Amino acid sequence: MKYIYLKTIGLVKPTILENLVKSLDMLFPFQSKLIVDEENPLFAFEPKRDQYYAKKMIEKLAGELPLDCEKLVGITDVDLCTPVLTFVYGEAQLSGNVAVVSLNRLRQEFYYLPHNDALLVERLLKECIHELGHCYGLFHCNNSKCVMCFSNSIISIDNKKKNFCVGCKEFVDKTIRKENYA
C-alpha cells in the first residue's frame, strides 16, 4: 500500500492539516498520511529576498522519501520563491514524486482581511491538488475552472474548482494506472 504524504516544513497549524488529509483522501486512490517536521527551514532561506527557495525544499524532501511513498507534498507557512519568480504558491517536480506548497499567500491576513480557516483549507487543497497534478505529468490547463489552471493571484485560485477538468482527470488516472498497476 502506498501513501500520499503531507510533510510539514516548519510550524503549521494541525487543524488545517487534518482537514487537508481528509479532503485529499477523496480525490486520489491512495490514502494520505501526515509527517510533522517542525524544524525551521533555514536551509532554504535567501536573506537577500527574505524568502525561501522552493527548489531547495523539494531537493531536501526528495532525499527523505518514505519507502511506501506514492507522492510527497511539503507544506510550509513561509513565503516561497524561485530564482526568476517573485513568489510561488507552490512548486513540483514534473512527473516526479515531490512538491511543496506555501500557506503564506493563501491566508486572508496576507491581503489585510480577517482570518478564515475554511477558506484557507480550500485554497491549500487546490494548491496541493495542482502540484500533485504536475507530479502526475500534467502541464497547465486552459480551462479557468480546472485546478490545473495557472494561478498568479489569489483571485484566480478562488475562481477555480478543487478538482481536475475531465481531460486532466483522465490523464492523471491513466498515469496512476501506468505507474502502479502496469
Minimum distance of Zn ion from residue 115's CB (angstroms): 26
Minimum distance of Zn ion from residue 150's CB (angstroms): 6
In three-state secondary structure terms, 9 is: strand
Residue window 91-130: x/- pattern of binding to Zn ion, with contact defined by CB under 5 A: ----------------------------------------
Q: What string of DSSP letters covers 104-146?
A: GGGSGGGGT----HHHHHHHHHHHHHHHHHHHTT----S-TTS
What is the tally of helices (H) and strands (E) in the chain? 5, 8
170 has catalytic annotation: no
Cα 171 from Cα 164, distance rounded (Å): 10
36/94 with CB nearer Zn ion: 94
The three cell numbers of residue 151 are: 494561478
Binding Zn ion by CB under 5 A: which of 4, 146, 157, 172?
Answer: 146
Minimum distance of Zn ion from residue 94's CB (angstroms): 9
The three cell numbers of residue 103 are: 500557506
Q: Exactly one of 18, 109, 131, 179 is catalytic; name it.
A: 131
Q: Which of residues 148-167 bind Zn ion (CB under 5 A)?
A: 148, 165
Active site residues: 131
